[in-house]
Amino acid sequence: MPYPDTITLTNPLDMHLHLRDGEMLHNIAKGSAKSFSGAIIMPNLVPPVSTKEDVTAYKARILEAIGDERFTPYMTLFFKPGYDRTFLESVKEEITAIKLYPAGITTNSEGGVSGFDVEELRPALEAMGELGIPLCVHGETNGFVMDREAEFVPIYEKLAAAFPKLKIIMEHITTKESVAALDRFENLYATITVHHLIITLDDVAGGMLRPHLFCKPIAKRPEDREALLKVALGAHPKVMFGSDSAPHPRHAKESCGCAAGVFTAPIALQLLTQLFEHHGAPLENLQKFISNTAQNIYGITPPKKRVILERKPFTVPQEYNGVVPMYAEENIDYTIKEIING
């Protein structure tokens, strides 16, 4: 059944967002802050956000960049195996989660984890579990690009079994193997992007190469997309929206060394509404996917915000302050009509 011509989404959350820093932060932060109540902010800056001082300083820069927008940046630390309980207790009130990157696997992740020895990781991960600090993980190996995420699933399972008190968020999952792992371990959760619900590798490289759809993890096969759609559209209680919106300047995307990342933040809610309607998913499931489930998993209460969308064609701009979005210059079905704070 078609959605009403006007719909309201309440307190939308983006549970995986890149805001960058410096000029890029000021260019793109307001776009997310305007239409979302809050977001989990990724810490892979240069240098990474790895101390209490880093977290508070970066949060201050974000709040300055968004101005008077009603938006909570839920901060994260860049995981280091040397974090001990004393340090984690000292920083707990400043963060919502800690993000683990395998070394060198994605943008600015060179300082990440090499190898996943449970005993080496135990002091930090056990303390995180006892303190109620979730672990967000970019789950890829350095194997063949299409197999990297599926190869990482046994590592997720090893960590989930070794640290049952620890909430582990499988970030931006793209494979049917990751979806299947959700129901095997009570403490595994996941975020899914809007672009991975729409595209496959064929859209990226099946014809002319489309650099603005290139991301890590790379889009996979149709059967993987179907598995993602099933749990997202069905409002699986362990799956939430995380855009992984990753801005890069045009010259960094349209080059021989194309940077990885899809920029969707300004159009994510419109695309998700269009997608859920197209597949006949109940509107209440969209609300769960973009807010309610995340609140339950993370135990957060975001600022009150209502985003009113209307069925009105919207032409996606060619650029947002120098960053080319997904579907640039194409029409989508929904427009944001009004945003009401409070």
Backbone angles phi, psi at 108, to 5 degrees: 55, 40
The token duo for 221 is 């096969």
Residue 329 CA to residue 342 CA, distance in Å, equals: 33
38 alpha carbon, distance to own chain's centre: 12
Residue 244 falls in the annotated catalytic set = yes
Half-sphere exposure for 106 (CA within 13 Å, toward CB): 27
Which H or E run includes 31? helix 22-35
Report residue 292 as tokens.
Answer: 């309610």
Instruction: Report which of 20, 26, 19, 123 is spatially closest to residue 67, judged by C-alpha positions.
Output: 26
Of 196, 187, 140, the closest CA to residue 168 belongs to 187
Q: Which two tokens stand for residue 148?
A: 């990297």
**CA–CA dist 122, 315 (Å, integer):** 50
Strand partners, 100: 137
Question: CA 92, 96, 102, 103: dihedral to nearest 10 degrees?
Answer: -60
Candidate list 14, 224, 244, 333, residue with the active-site label: 244
Tell me the catalytic residues: 244
